[in-house]
Amino acid sequence: MGGVSYDFENKKNTNYYSIYSSAQYTDRGSYYGGLGGGNTAQDSTTALNAYGTTKDLAWASGFQFTKKFKRDVLTTGIEHNLSSTEDIISGYNKLIDQDVNATGLYAQYEWKPNLKFSALIGTRLDYVNVDGIYRVGDIERNVDISQTALNPRLTLAYAFNDDLKFRGGYARGFRAPQAFNEDLHISSVGGEPQFVILSNDIKPEYSNAFTGSFNYTKDFNTTQTNFLIEGFFTNIVDPFTLVSTGVQFDNGSILEEVRNGEGARVYGANFEFGVSPSKKWLFQIGGTLQRSEYENDQLLFEADGSNPSESDILISEFVRNPNVYGYLNSNWTPSEKFSLSVTGTYTGEMIVPLVVSDTGFLSLNKSPTFFDMNINAETHFDFSEDFQLTLNAGVKNMFNSFQDDFDVGPTRDSDYVYGPAMPRTFFIGITIGKMH
């Protein structure tokens, strides 16, 4: 990987120019398989099918111009992104040969007619071409999509006084279909790989997002307070959805397909509250209440009719998306040499799919709530002007709020993981170095 950029400006410091280019190339060998629950000679032979290679080139280049006026700022530019990917697993006759070229022209103007009001008006014109061949087993799809999208955005801000401020905005989003990224790669179910392919009539995804917020900041003598409340609504047109097709190939691999849903919406509210009674104390708390739902029930598993006990599974809300989540952050610094912090995150219930059959049939499980609380104490000793020793210790996930129903065994669903990243963990650390 590497990159180069050149930035310069005029003598009056009103015009700024930036030219940049960066690239990254990946050549990777991977293994996606296992014995599939057995240990016979045939299982071992079949497991050899799961070796694969991936070659990926990502290249981004662009130019940006910024003009500063007395109060206002104009920003324009052009950017081109190239992504070329070849992903092969020969034993499963699996191929992704995909080229994505995207060129974007953008401009935005930040207008500040007075000290109370400001507006940011901008738009981006994107041209995206996706040219790909996607093959799994005996199923092959060819995609050649060229799409031009105009994505405007508008942000308004108004200060009623020094304490109360309003901010609102609208932004249109656009995403072209791709069958190779970190979200749509390979997982293992029942000891067999689960592959993703694009549907024949896949279309780009669009979104329209609206936000509005009030921020109140007030100082009471030495006590500083801050309160923010924000509402948001996002409408998604032709959302990408991942459907388990119920298709299992002779080699054991399972097929999922990316399709367009009929529509979805995400809406809710955020709040944040912070108070600092003095330089020694800081308290912050925040949370989100939201709903993420489809306009019509969305197909998640499509039965092929070969198993009478399996039928289509439809859902009305997004999976792996809690309706409630939040955080807290507190810090106590009684002296320059010691600090104690307590942080935590709360994650509400959510629907998590678990694959329970080698056809990809699903069980929709409801996760418990999680409260992940962490404590960290830190102190340092200054032996000289250039030498400092720092000690810290604490515990992560103090209440051991951790997933307790991992799928286990050689036929497990490797995607069935949710909640905090680690169980209760005690730690201690020592840092030796120069003072800054």
Q: What DSSP line would sit under 95-128, residue for residue?
A: EEEEEEEEEEEEEEEEE-SSSSEEEEEEEEEEEE
Instruction: Give the distance from CA 46 to its chain's centroid.
Output: 34
pLDDT, position 92: 81
pLDDT at 249 over 60: yes
Among the residue ranges 2-11, 210-219, 414-423, the one predicted with the least confidence is 414-423
Nearest to 225 by CA among 284, 272, 274: 274
Q: Phi and psi for 91 in degrees, rounded to 5?
A: -65, -25
- β-pairing, 192-198 vs 205-220, is unpaired
pLDDT, position 187: 60
Q: What is the pLDDT of residues 337-385, one digit of tens each?
A: 899 999 999 999 999 999 888 778 889 999 999 999 999 999 988 887 7
d(CA 238, CA 235): 10
Tell me what the mean pLDDT of segment 134-144 comes to. Answer: 84
Percentage with pLDDT > 70 across the chain: 93
This prediction's pTM: 0.85
- β-pairing, 254-260 vs 192-198, is parallel
Which element (helix H / strand E) includes 63?
strand 51-68
pLDDT at 123 over 80: yes
The token duo for 403 is 């997933």
Count the domains in the chain: 1
- Please say whether the beta carbons of 120 and 108 come within 8 A: yes
pLDDT, position 379: 95
Q: What is the pLDDT of residues 163-198, one digit of tens each?
A: 999 999 999 998 888 765 544 455 655 556 677 778
Nearest to 203 by CA among 160, 237, 244: 237
CA angle 309, 310, 313 (to 5 degrees): 140
Q: What is the CATH number of the domain that holds 303?
A: 2.40.170.20
Domain range enclosing 310: 2-433
